[in-house]
Chain A
Amino acid sequence: MTALTLSNVCKSFGKVDVLKNIDLTVEENEFVVFVGPSGCGKSTLLRVIAGLEDATSGTVEIDGQQVNDVPPAKRGIAMVFQSYALYPHLTVRGNMVLGLKQAGHPKDEIERRIAEASRMLSLEPYLDRRPAELSGGQRQRVAIGRAIVRNPKLFLFDEPLSNLDAALRLNTRVEIANLHRQLDASMIYVTHDQTEAMTLADKIVVLRDGRVEQIGSPMELYNDPANRFVAEFIGSPAMNFVPADMIGGNTGTFIGIRPEYAQLGQTGQLNGTVIHVEKLGADTNAMINIGTDKPFTVRAFGQHDVLPGAEVGISFDQAKVLSFGEDGKRL
């Protein structure tokens, strides 16, 4: 059974086409991440799935039923917003209860679900507080709790971690991953952070300018990107692109080398000057000017003493090199 099927979904605001012919299936219990730069349409796509925006054309099916004309509350979904969007005048309990009351669930059922959700998210001590009295992380947990109690077939997360600080982001990321393992539901998660995408997803959808660039598991995208955009977007530090004729390839085409597949040495396939070194403890990133627009990044594991200004050679395994045509497509 598929949790969600999008076929040929388009969305335009006036003359601006925000989504162009999106086709996508989400299987049951799958964790799908939409990733892409700002303005690529990922949040709009999520809103179309939620029913907060109407698709201009195409069909949206949730759990096997076409829902184009079904209001958000009846789609069997729950959504967690970037800004938490808690009701400021209601307590934590009130925030979680509201949707269930509207749907007309019996009282003991509501109580049971609230108890369950607040246990999962350790929200019990805060049930009678208002959102203004909670920290950012707690508010985000309440927002997730409000989604859980609805017992949805499909969770929608709209950049839920971008308002949290770095340490809390890591914790909450783990919590969301745990939640996905415990709950019997599919999740769609929107982010512009490729680390979140790589760590959480079963399947990543890379979007650019309202189009799907590639769909695949994190490792598929990492090892086998369909084009230069995906190759550059996935992986950090980003992949290096070098005109192929610098190492004896066809003029106009490019080769891509991940920073972690290249090594520094006295000599190598490429030569250049070190312009900057970042020491992170576990690894060392060296940026080397090889005469292209962008410096070439080499990621060496462990701690290395490389000084800016040094002349170095870069060597890499030919088998790890990806080739891209003039149009950016993989060759």
Chain B
Amino acid sequence: MNKARRNPFNIAAMHGALILYTLIALFPVFVIVINSFKSRKAIFREPLALPDADTFSMIGYQTVMKQGDFFLYFQNSMIVTVASLFFILLFGAMAAFALSEYRFKGNTLMGLYLALGIMIPIRIGTVAILDMMVATGLVNSLMALILVYTAQGLPLAVFILSEFMRQVSDDLKNAGRIDGLSEYTIFFRLVLPLVRPAMATVAVFNMIPIWNDLWFPLILAPAEETKTLTLGSQVFIGQFVTDWNAVLSALSMAILPVMVLYVIFSRQLIRGITSGAVK
């Protein structure tokens, strides 16, 4: 193992494979970003060329800024994603704690019931959800989206987190009980910090689909003031004419916040892994 790791040929092959994969993964993003800074003609003439003095144009960004309330869409997407993640993590972790920590009748059954959602896509229930949202008057509100995404994310969160919480030492929780900590304090102060890597995993898994979702915003909250970024960008894609400058600019900008969130969580993820490894 060690010999193989030191062999220069192996190192080169390993790095080569990783670099190749990185290039393939980043290429579409790269194309979107460079083309968002080019004029419409230049996009079609040479899609892979970098913008130069002739082809450089901010027209796409200008269109995006002028048309529609782009910052509002941005804000809506951000609110929906962050609030959904918060509720998924909070309720998921609490349910997972109860399932892994307390012995009660129907514990296993409850666990299975909560995990069932992993196998059944929530979109099957779209009509019923829409009915419910209409009945409760939540249509065209961000709350509708937050509730649906929370429901969508909970099954996987409960499943992953309860597995991790089973590994937290019983002695530690019992030591807390003897020191007079309440169950809530034990949960928030002792258990949550120890399952932080798992929380980060759950957050990353849930964040991207929520941010990118078009289905539920289109159905539950299509009003101008509740449009999310993905839905808002659709105005530039028409049946006959598509404003590619605007679409590419909108997409380029949409990458940024989700990347920031990802960096935050992935750092947690790495910190969690390494802190366990070097103990």
A99 touches B180 (CB 8 A): yes
Of the stretches B4-12, B167-175, B230-238, the one at the interface is B167-175
B171–A73 touching, CB < 8 Å: no
Pick from B172, B180, B279: contact of A73, CB below 8 A. Answer: B180
Q: Could you tell me the distance between the alpha carbons of A106 and B214 in the complex, rounded to whole angstroms?
A: 58
Chain B residues with CB under 8 A of A51: 177
Known: A83-B169, A85-B169, A87-B172. A73 touches B178 (CB 8 A): yes
Decide if B179 is an interface residue (CB 8 Å cutoff): yes
Do the beta carbons of A78 and B190 come within 8 Å of each other? no
User: Closest CB-CB distance, A102 to chain B, in whole Å?
Assistant: 4
Closest to B174 in A: A52
Q: Do A81 and B175 form a contact, CB below 8 Å, given A88-B194, A89-B193?
A: yes
Q: Which residues of A contact B178 (CB under 8 A)?
A: 50, 52, 72-73, 77-79, 99
| Residue contact B180 to A102, C-beta cutoff 8 Å | yes
In the bound complex, CA of A51 to CA of B174 (Å): 10
* B180 A83 Cβ-Cβ under 8 A: no
Show 11 residue pairs from A and B whose CB-CB distance is below 8 angstroms, ordered by the A residue. Answer: A51-B177, A72-B180, A73-B177, A78-B178, A83-B169, A84-B171, A87-B176, A89-B193, A98-B179, A102-B180, A150-B179
Q: How far is the CA of A74 from the CA of B194 in the complex (A)?
A: 27
Chain B contacts of A158 at CB under 8 A? 171
A103 to B172, CA, bound (A): 18
Give the number of residue pairs across the A-B interface with Cβ within 8 Å: 60
* Least Cβ–Cβ distance between A94 and chain B, in angstroms: 11
Interface residues on chain B, number (Cβ under 8 Å): 16
Would you call A102 and B181 a contact (CB within 8 A)?
A: yes
Tell yes or no: A125 within 8 A of B by CB: no
Of chain B, the residue at the smallest CB distance from A133 is B279
- B174 pairs with A81, CB closer than 8 A: yes
A71 within 8 Å of B (CB atoms):
yes
Q: How far is the CA of A209 from the CA of B172 in the complex (A)?
A: 27
Q: Counting CB contacts under 8 A, is A132 at the interface?
A: yes
* Pair A72/B177 contact, Cβ less than 8 Å: yes
Q: Is A82 an interface residue (CB 8 A)?
A: yes
Contacts of B177 in A (CB 8 A): 51-52, 71-73
CA A79 to CA B178, docked complex, whole Å: 7
Q: Which residue of B lies closest to A132 (CB)?
A: B279
Assess whether A83 is in contact with B171, with CB atoms less than 8 Å apart. Answer: yes
With both beta carbons as reference points, the residue of chain B lying nearest to A147 in the complex is identified as B178
Considering only residues 148-190 of chain B, those with a C-beta below 8 Å from chain A are 169, 171-172, 174-181, 189-190
